[in-house]
Amino acid sequence: MSTRTHRTPMMPWRRLLPIVGLVTVGLLAACSSGTKKPQPTELPPVAALMGTRLAWSAQVGEGHASLVPLAVAGRVFVAGKSGTVAALDAATGKDVWRLNLATPLAAGVGSDGQMAAVITGNNQLVAIADGRELWRVRLPARSFTTPLVAGQRVFVLTADRTVTAFDGKTGARLWSQNRPAEPLVLSQTGALLAVGDTLVAGLSGRLAGLNPVNGAVRWEAPVANARGTNEVERLVDIVGPVSRIGNSVCARAYSAAVGCVDASRGTVAWTRPAQGTTGVHGDDRLVFGSETNGRFQAWQRGTGEPAWGIDRLKYRGLSAPLAVGRVVAVADASGLVHLVSREDGSEMTRLTTDGSPIEAAPVLAGDALVVQTRNGGVYAWRPQ
């Protein structure tokens, strides 16, 4: 447990900015042991040291971990597993538009605020604008990563570690960057983002910088190297989300390491062994993430040295976190959102939803903290 010092008054949060193997890791984990899972520690009464109010709520239909909410240009883009895609007004939660694609979704929603893109369960990339379908193209492999919409292009990272660029207006394929295939890949969201004029993608245990015009590799930086004697132990894919502050991109390699890379030069600032399986987030000073057992950890962004860690959220099925102002938000499998102090991890307050798991990281939409539950509830809180 971390040593608690003093609690400072809270200010309102501010903006920081086909499967290759025959089996998936999730299936192997489910069948590996019949032992009873550890039970989470009972939570004490909520501290309530920070005032919040529920600003609005909405419903989009049942979701899953790869349907990550996105906040951009005053809208919150959300999707449900059965095919509903919606753009919500970030201030009110009301529909700007809503479209039912009538097909299950595997990943989404990516958007630049105007055009949105999702990926269906039958490997189709679908582009949407103003609530109507623009085009769709078939992908050569499955994808669990939110498409990136930027510069009138749509970029896709498929599960076979291929990055492909499509013309945003027509859906024409512009280029494709292939990586060596491996026996297993994760059915989990990966990393795909823009840093300046470089497209950064998580490819196996590396972050790679690509030229978005032609897909040429500019640099590669290892966060973790494959280890172990079998395919499962050697699986070190980068998992999303990642934390970007300027040119600093910090990421987690699945059950192997956390590290930070200078995306302007493609150099590794530091890496540190870590056993977590969900992404990280952070600010200009710290990086936050949870280990597999639910221990919540902060690392110094500049050096990777541990800053603090807490054990009271162990075995709660934590999501990836969101660093927002003076607090860090992290959700759990019982539908709770925990707001903890950025300084020492002490509890500031606790928010409730519909009781179903929150698998994707919270997002910040203006001054509202937004989460989406597995049952399809979308909730937004504002500080008081």
Say which CATH number the domain at 52 has: 2.130.10.10
What is the residue-level pLDDT of the chain in tens, covering all 384 positions?
A: 333 333 333 334 433 223 334 334 443 444 444 568 888 988 999 988 999 999 999 999 999 999 999 999 999 999 999 999 999 999 999 999 999 999 999 998 999 999 999 999 999 999 999 999 999 999 999 999 999 999 999 999 999 889 999 999 999 999 999 877 666 777 889 999 999 999 999 998 999 999 999 999 999 999 998 876 776 767 889 999 999 999 999 999 999 999 999 999 999 999 999 999 999 999 999 999 999 999 999 999 999 999 999 999 999 999 999 999 999 999 999 999 999 999 999 999 999 999 999 999 999 999 999 999 999 999 999 998
The DSSP element (H or E) to which 31 belongs, if any, is helix 25-32
Say if 119 falls within a structural domain: no
Distance of CA 15 to the CA centre of its chain: 17
- Tens digits of residue pLDDT in 251-261: 999 999 999 99
Residue 310's alpha-carbon distances to 268, 321, 352, in angstroms, are 27, 14, 21
Domain tally, the chain: 1
pLDDT value, residue 17: 29
Say if 373 falls within a structural domain: yes
Say if 335 falls within a structural domain: yes
Number of C-beta neighbours around residue 322 at 10 A = 26
Per the structure, the complete domain to which residue 347 belongs is given by 46-63+277-384
Torsion of CA 307, 312, 313, 315, to 10 degrees: 120
| pTM (predicted TM-score) | 0.89
Say if 382 falls within a structural domain: yes
- 356/62 Cα distance (integer angstroms): 10
- 247/37 Cα distance (integer angstroms): 40
Say if 267 falls within a structural domain: no
Say if 289 falls within a structural domain: yes
pLDDT value, residue 236: 86
